[in-house]
A = this chain, B = another copy of it.
Amino acid sequence: MTTRTTSRLTTKGRATRDRIVATASTLMLERGVARTTIEDIQHAAQVSASQLYHYFRDKNALVMAVIDHQTDQVLGVQHQGLDQLDSFAALRKWRDLVVGILKEVNCVGGCPLGSLASDLAETDPLARARLAKSFALWEELLRAGLAAMRERGELRAEADTDDLALAMLSAVQGGLLLSQVRRETRPLEVAMDSMLDHIRTYAG
């Protein structure tokens, strides 16, 4: 997701903007959006107020850019795992990728999109709508992968890939949240493995 503003920037301008967004992302995910002030971001990104306001008219604009940034990050990883999805082995490899990332960060932070969604859903309707779109893109990657498996005969024709994709995304989100709370990977592992077992009942 690239905003129209970005395309008009010079290389240096774009680098400054990217640094502001990356810094805002880190702070907002560590502390929550409300606990992060424009001043905190300015200070951490080492930019002046006028520089920051040159790129973002207010905190809301920055929140939207953070959502886009995190969507790019999360979907980037998910593309890695899901673009070649055509077998149960590939599905299992994707599961290991997601669990592996959680292990690397010691179960800290939860899913960036899930955290932003929970933080903003009731206070910022535009952010909620934007995050709904991000989740829809992720779900579509899963759906397309499962549909590819069905076309190859790995899944039977009656497998509802819409439902399976949505159920798997829910399991991933719930598993990540419980893993964040417990600081252990088991919730995510058990949630994903159970959903994989469920998908396997449709094996062709």
Interface presence of A145 (CB below 8 A)? no
Within 8 A of B (CB), among A19-64: 29-32, 34-35
Let me know if A177 and B178 touch, CB within 8 A: no
The distance in angstroms between the C-alpha atoms of A110 and B59, with both chains bound, is: 24
Nearest B residue to A36 by beta-carbon distance? B34
Minimum CB–CB distance from A204 to chain B (whole Å) comes to 17
Q: Does A72 contact B (CB under 8 A)?
A: no
When the two chains form the complex, which single residue of B175, B178, B194 contacts A135, counting CB atoms closer than 8 Å? B178
Q: Quick one: given A118-B177, A122-B109, are A170 and B169 in contact (CB under 8 Å)?
A: no
Interface size class of A (residues with CB under 8 A): 35 or more
Query: Which of A138-177 touch B at CB < 8 Å?
Result: 163-164, 166-167, 169-175, 177
* Contact A191 to B177, CB < 8 A, known contacts A32-B34, A35-B123, A110-B118: no
> Does residue A181 face the partner (Cβ distance < 8 Å to B)?
yes
> Is A190 positioned at the interface, with any CB of B under 8 Å from its CB?
yes
In the assembled complex, which residues on chain B have CB atoms less than 8 Å from the CB atom of A108? Answer: 122
Q: Is A101 an interface residue (CB 8 A)?
A: no
- Cβ contact of A194, chosen from B34, B123, B163, B187, cutoff 8 A: B163
Q: Tell me, yes or no, whether A197 is within 8 Å of chain B by CB.
A: yes
A34 CA to B28 CA in the complex, in Å? 12
Besides the known contacts A135-B178, A166-B186, 7 further A-B residue pairs in the complex with CB atoms under 8 A apart: A32-B32, A110-B121, A118-B180, A166-B187, A169-B187, A170-B188, A197-B201
- Provide 26 A-B residue pairs closer than 8 Å at the C-beta atoms, listed in order of the A residue: A32-B34, A34-B34, A109-B122, A110-B118, A114-B177, A117-B181, A118-B119, A128-B181, A163-B193, A163-B194, A166-B178, A166-B187, A166-B191, A167-B171, A167-B190, A167-B193, A170-B174, A170-B177, A170-B188, A170-B190, A172-B174, A173-B173, A174-B177, A194-B198, A195-B198, A197-B198
